[in-house]
Structure 1
Amino acid sequence: MPDNFEIGGDFVPHRSAQGYTFEVPDYTDEIIALDQGEDRRKVILKLIEKHKPQRDRMLMNHQRYKTDASGVPVFHRIFERDVTIDNRINNDYFSEIVDIKTGYFAGKPAAYAYDKQEQNFEQVSQRIKDFLEMNRIADVNMETTKYCAIGGYSARLLYIDTAGRERMMYIPGHQAILLNEDGNIIETRYGVRYYGQEGRYIIHFYDGLRRYKYQQDGAELNLLEDNIHTFKLCPLFGYPNNDELMGDPDKVLGLIDAIDRTISDVNSEIEAFRLAYLLFLGAQVDQTAVDEMRKTGAISIPGMGGERIDARFLEKNLNDGAIENHLNRIHDNIYRFSGTPDLADEAFSGNQSGESLKFKLFGLETKSARFEQKFKAADTRMFEIMSTKWAIESLVVNPYKVFAEFKRNFPQNLLNEADIQQKLKGLVSEQTRLSLASFVDDVEYELELMEQEANGIEPLDLESDAEIIEGETNAVI
């Protein structure tokens, strides 16, 4: 993996977030050109050029997530006039919005299961389990969620490694161009991954059969590899955050910038108080007297014509009440419009019940539920692609019968859940009942353990028990 995996190419800083477009590029002409057999090298260069505005926006968001100076607007702020003190303070709401969404949605590993009614259930189920465990699916899901929240979408690549093993990796969205006629980045027909120095990109192009690797040299692409990738579908596909392919903080970037500017300006003003001017009234003071004052902390001022002598600091008064109200309003709007709970709020302190917390997390849950549907659709695509590989080995896998269950990383109220579990016993199936428990990560595994425990209990010898009871009864009489 290259050192600049996360960057994926040069980044031009010093542009405000408002300078970037959120429109998803239309690749229809390029898809038609590829279908008609045009020189894919020329088409790839057009795709990269068309993808550049979207890539720049996602790269800026990623730099901002890392609080890199090139990605945070306040760090390269320019004033029209010279200022003595210019403090630049970043309030990292951006990464908090991303991290809370990532931890809430993917903090608990998703549970994958195969339908027991399908043929070869045991064999297929074990194969899927091995595939997911070998590829550290919990970590891949976590990073996929993070990049979706940052830039609007992430990608995933399936490939066969040098040892012949089935592998997967997440790809940041700014490195991936995903092509489908209807704009659906999940069911891609062609995929492009590119990274490295601009003008010298390393480029991988995927279709439904082959992988082509190129080294860019300006307007030329030199072919390095041409291989069959083993799958019958394009193995590079997307995980959208939403249909608009927008990141979670994108709608509140202006508010975050506003609070950065305000706090930076206030901090500069407070620090400037230390440089306040000393005003002398009714006296004339030379530089020697000022220097002596700095050493001793006192000064003797000779009077001028009997006038009253006064010395005071000339300072600027700040309306701290108005500033505080302004900051509080922006602060609340950032959390409100991004659908993120303010965990520092008093509502999250003390002994809150699980149900009351759910109402406070309703905005986060709403956008997570929408993202979950996108994630499940992309997971289904992953198994569609993998099933074409497994079919070569005569292993029939129905990708639409692989189910993923996501559980939110939410404070548990075990006493309340235990009560619910007890009341539901016998009213619904055991699988349905256990799936409602937040402390059960894998329902199938839990059912197996329960069955093993049930089989391990020795049956009661009712005849022996009856004889003992009867003997004790006679003895008492």
Structure 2
Amino acid sequence: MANKSKQRFPDEANEHFTYESAEKLLDNMEHLQQMIEQHKKVQRPRLQTLQNYFKGNNETILKDNRRREEHLADNRAVHNFARYVSTFIQGYMVGIPLKTIHDDEDVSERIRDMNRINDADEHNSELVLDQSIYGRAYELLYRGTDDEYHFTHVDVLNTFVIYDETVERKSIAGVRYFKSKYSDEETILLYTDEKNLKLGYEDGSKLQIVEPQTDEERQREINNFQGIPIIEYENNKFRQGDFEDVLALIDMYDGAQSDLANYSQDLNDAMLKIIGNLDLEVEEAKEMKKNNIIFLKTEPNADGRESTANADYIYKQYDVQGSESYKTRIANDIHLFTATPNLSDENFAGNMSGEVMKYKLFLMEQKRAAKERRFKRALRERYRLISNMMKTASEGEIDVSKLNITFTENLPKNIEAEMKWFTDAGGQLSQKTMISQLSFIENADEEIEQLEEEEKQRPINQPQYDFEEHQHQNSQEHEEVTGDGE
């Protein structure tokens, strides 16, 4: 008889939902109902487990009946490696906000306004965090009552996308389901490329479309994005979270630390062992123990000689040094397989330059490059769908092929050393180039325009600041100090 697999999650817990077309799906609502039930019973438990580990509620160490003896210590040491991994990756990728620039300046300005309205920096950061935790993230596009385009983060635990069965794997529908906190009524929303439908259960069992009752509901039902307004951001090909494959190692580390804590506590309650033929009453022994002292008064043995006596404690012997080496090895493996640095490593100096840090983060760089490609693809889909609605409303369009999306890894940089080398070599930079290198400046042209506007408003009798002249003077002063001037 074959052994059952001991993998934590079944393969079905992370598979894509596929169907022939949205039209066929609407004609077979029972199949959509099966997908929703499978998501609830098979996929959602995996997502919930990953969320629990990120929150520090490590499931294996916190489950009941870890120790059989009720009188012994039962410490449950939880180590939040999951949060460390995902938070590090989130900060590394989007700690410096990504830049979205279009070749057409007017379109760039429109995108910047849209991003400001939606707080895109925070939104993108949340998407990257969800990707890292769950292996996937979702956003919902809509046009608000303010006639502005909006994109918002939606909960991974109750959202999924359905794809067609072709090799192109195009999305044909998106699903969200949720219950009210104050009733058992469940709301199900189905998004297609034409309509946003509300679904309900007939007689509490059969899924069906809920027809709109008012003109406002009919208007909201129309989808002008000409595509599925729920966009999925995948973390990798397998939609696996960044700490998902080290959950067993996290459990092992928690177990080792908990056992060490239990050993230390049990040692305080060790059993006293007394060997010898003693003339000692029970109450007298209790009083000695209470006063933390023991008198061993022996009795003569059978041949009249005085017997010997000894007292010590009985406790489980524990290899503390071996346990520490074991935990260190597990912790190093967690960092290795998640491609994150061990900041507690003595060799990980705090004064490393950005270039040296890159060598220690080489594997993380490979992961980041793959994650960025998938994120950019989904990001272009966001602006493509918004462009579709803009064209329908005669508000222009966004050519996503001319969209430049730039990620900047969040590493310490020695800009001063780079600039010194460059100026020592006689190099000069334009003001636009220098401004564009600043991480807190999103658009260099816009900043230069603001500088020019400030110069126009400067009082006439106040001298203007000449950037190129100032740069030239600094170069001359440097030559005089180093003796390179004539």
Length-normalised TM-score, structure 2: 0.80
Tell me which amino acid in the other structure corresponds to 1:263: Q
Alpha-carbon shift at residue 243 of structure 1 (Å): 0.9
Alpha-carbon shift at residue 271 of structure 1 (Å): 0.8
Which residue does the alignment assign to 1:237?
231
Tell me which amino acid in the other structure corresponds to 1:289: E
Asked whether 1:74 is paired with 2:61, we answer yes
Contact 1:65 1:94 in 2 (8 A): yes
Whole-Å separation in 1 of the counterparts to 2:137 and 2:467: 55
Alpha-carbon shift at residue 134 of structure 1 (Å): 0.4
Whole-Å separation in 2 of the counterparts to 1:418 and 1:77: 60
Q: Which of 287, 291, 300 does residue 286 from structure 2 map onto?
A: 291
Whole-Å separation in 1 of the counterparts to 2:418 and 2:206: 62
Alignment gaps of 5+ in structure 1: 1-15, 461-477
Which residue does the alignment assign to 1:175?
158
Alignment gaps of 5+ in structure 2: 213-217, 301-305, 457-463, 469-486
Tell me which amino acid in the other structure corresponds to 2:61: V
Alpha-carbon shift at residue 263 of structure 1 (Å): 0.9
Alpha-carbon shift at residue 285 of structure 1 (Å): 4.7
Cα 1:332–1:458, aligned 2, differ >3 Å: closer, same or farther?
closer
Which residue does the alignment assign to 2:176?
193
- Can you list the C-alpha shifts for 1:281-315, whole angstroms capped at 9, x where unaligned? 11265542343124322344442222112222123
Which residue does the alignment assign to 2:197?
212
Q: Which of 239, 248, 270 does residue 242 from structure 2 map onto?
A: 248
Whole-Å separation in 1 of the counterparts to 2:185 and 2:317: 55
SS in 2 for 1:109: strand
Whole-Å separation in 2 of the counterparts to 1:234 and 1:446: 36
SS in 1 for 2:76: coil
Alpha-carbon shift at residue 233 of structure 1 (Å): 1.0
Alpha-carbon shift at residue 201 of structure 1 (Å): 3.4
Alpha-carbon shift at residue 406 of structure 1 (Å): 1.3
Cα 1:96–1:443, aligned 2, differ >3 Å: closer, same or farther?
same
Whole-Å separation in 2 of the counterparts to 1:188 and 1:444: 38
**Mapping of residues 14-413 of structure 1, within 5 Å:** 18-22=7-11, 24-28=14-18, 31-32=19-20, 34-36=22-24, 38-39=26-27, 41-52=29-40, 53-68=42-57, 71-76=58-63, 78-79=65-66, 81-83=68-70, 84-116=72-104, 121-122=105-106, 124-181=107-164, 188-196=171-179, 200-216=185-201, 218-221=204-207, 223=210, 227-282=221-276, 283=278, 285-305=280-300, 306-394=306-394, 395-413=396-414
Whole-Å separation in 1 of the counterparts to 2:151 and 2:169: 15
SS in 1 for 2:312: strand
Whole-Å separation in 1 of the counterparts to 2:426 and 2:436: 12
Whole-Å separation in 1 of the counterparts to 2:465 and 2:67: 82
Whole-Å separation in 2 of the counterparts to 1:182 and 1:448: 50
Alpha-carbon shift at residue 432 of structure 1 (Å): 7.1
Contact 2:66 2:74 in 1 (8 A): no
Cα 1:388–1:138, aligned 2, differ >3 Å: closer, same or farther?
same
Alpha-carbon shift at residue 449 of structure 1 (Å): 5.4
SS in 2 for 1:19: coil
**Deviates most, 191-200 or 329-338:** 191-200
Contact 1:280 1:309 in 2 (8 A): yes
Alpha-carbon shift at residue 326 of structure 1 (Å): 1.0
Contact 1:200 1:215 in 2 (8 A): no
Identity %: 27
Contact 1:27 1:47 in 2 (8 A): yes
Cα 1:62–1:38, aligned 2, differ >3 Å: closer, same or farther?
same
**Deviates most, 80-89 or 258-267:** 80-89
Alpha-carbon shift at residue 171 of structure 1 (Å): 1.9
Matched pairs, number: 435
Tell me which amino acid in the other structure corresponds to 1:132: N
Whole-Å separation in 2 of the counterparts to 1:341 and 1:309: 56
Whole-Å separation in 2 of the counterparts to 1:191 and 1:231: 13
Whole-Å separation in 2 of the counterparts to 1:424 and 1:433: 16
Length-normalised TM-score, structure 1: 0.82
Whole-Å separation in 2 of the counterparts to 1:48 and 1:286: 72
- Can you list the C-alpha shifts for 1:380-400, whole angstroms capped at 9, x where unaligned? 000110001111232132122
Contact 1:22 1:54 in 2 (8 A): no
Contact 2:164 2:170 in 1 (8 A): no
